[in-house]
Amino acid sequence: MQPVILTFSRRSVLHACAAACIVAAGAGIALAQGQPPITMAINQSPWLKSFVAMVDEYEKETGNKVELDVTPFGGLLEKIRNSVRGAQGAYDIVNVNSLWLSEIYSGEFLAPLGDVQAGYALPEGVLTYGDTTNWDAAAGTFASGGALMGVPVNGNVQVLYYNTDIYAKLGLHPPMTWDELLANAQAIQKEGEAYGFVPRAARDSIVYNFTPYLFSHDAAFFKITGPDEADVVVNSPEALTALETYAKLATESGPPGPGNIAQGELIQLLATGKGAQAIAVIAAWGQLEDPNSSRVVGKISAALLPAGPAGTVASSAGHWVAGIPRNVAPEKQKAALAFLDWFAAKERQVDYVRAGGVPVRGDITGADLGDEAAFRFIDAYSQNAQHAVMGLPFAQAAEASDAMALSLNRAVIGEMTPAQALNQAAADLAGVLERNGFAVTRLPNL
């Protein structure tokens, strides 16, 4: 499939500006007229229209030109790989999904932003989604003290969705803990109007959806212990409690066949009113509020995910980070950073939300948006984004997720006990790590 090239030429501008006009940016970068045009590789997605609106605004405000090369999700990674590995990159900005970040960072394909502009730091308030904007090359993982590699452009994290009409009818309140979520689900299931909780336990998404359960129980899939060294801990006692909770919610208060429910089925059950609660990405909000696809417009709200036994909250990061390749000219790199810095400013992010995008800041509130009902998700989004985690912070994340998915899915459908599933997942994860050069230690089987 040929990519769609979207070029935004201005027929008019919002305001005139002389050649020397300068718009101040968050970290001292000047957005002057006369920046060279830049090209960005970006995915076809539900939020693309909102990003296009921001490009439109940028060009009007600065006179600078941004060209978007739009590619379906399935083909974007290969296009990025081909560009960043060439002698001369085709793209001045590449939009990288959270699952691909480790691969792109570890390959040293991107220019650290501090090299593009000395001393550059993300504007205060911009989220790092579990330090995934920064890379520690020596340790081979994300770290707050590592080099700043990119600017987030879409903050897709998980939230708890719940039907406010059903909650009000049964006198329920947003849960603070997993036990409270289960109690709400059981009460809804018993009442019989809707399924008490809709899981997302299909093999293609179960690892991502299980991650907040795991991390909120102060567990993890593995831990980086040194250069090319890892400790597989997915079969810890804490992880067992997390999977037991996950399976109980999926099987006792949800639809039949929970192991077959992927993201599309989950959203449909919420949108038709058949599902009362679910954990899903914030990007689903627009569909739930669309009268053409939803019967619950105005009846859904969002909340912070439940906390684990020690009060820990976690939300799976599913965001996008824009990076600047090393293999483009320095003047193109500076122009690219000028655009990304402009985009990350709070006033721009408020515009982004109004255009339908998911912000990349944690300091936007309902008040910033005029407390309009259409944006009632924003506080829950900001809270969950502050607790975003990357479950598999290494280059082979996709391979590791696929390896563990079968066992976790089998635990939900009853073909394995949770303990058996975690032991097998640990063995499969260790195999992926070892095949990719890691020295691995493991916990004893449960």
In whole angstroms, give the CA distance from residue 61 to residue 64: 8
In whole angstroms, give the CA distance from residue 267 to residue 275: 9
Per-residue pLDDT tens digits for 273-283: 999 999 998 88
Q: Give the residue among 320, 330, 323, 341 at the shortest CA–CA distance from 110.
A: 323
Per-residue pLDDT tens digits for 325-345: 999 999 999 999 999 999 999
Split at pLDDT 50, 70, 90, the class of 175 is: very high
In whole angstroms, give the CA distance from residue 166 to residue 181: 14
Per-residue pLDDT tens digits for 126-168: 999 889 999 999 888 888 999 999 999 998 889 999 999 999 9
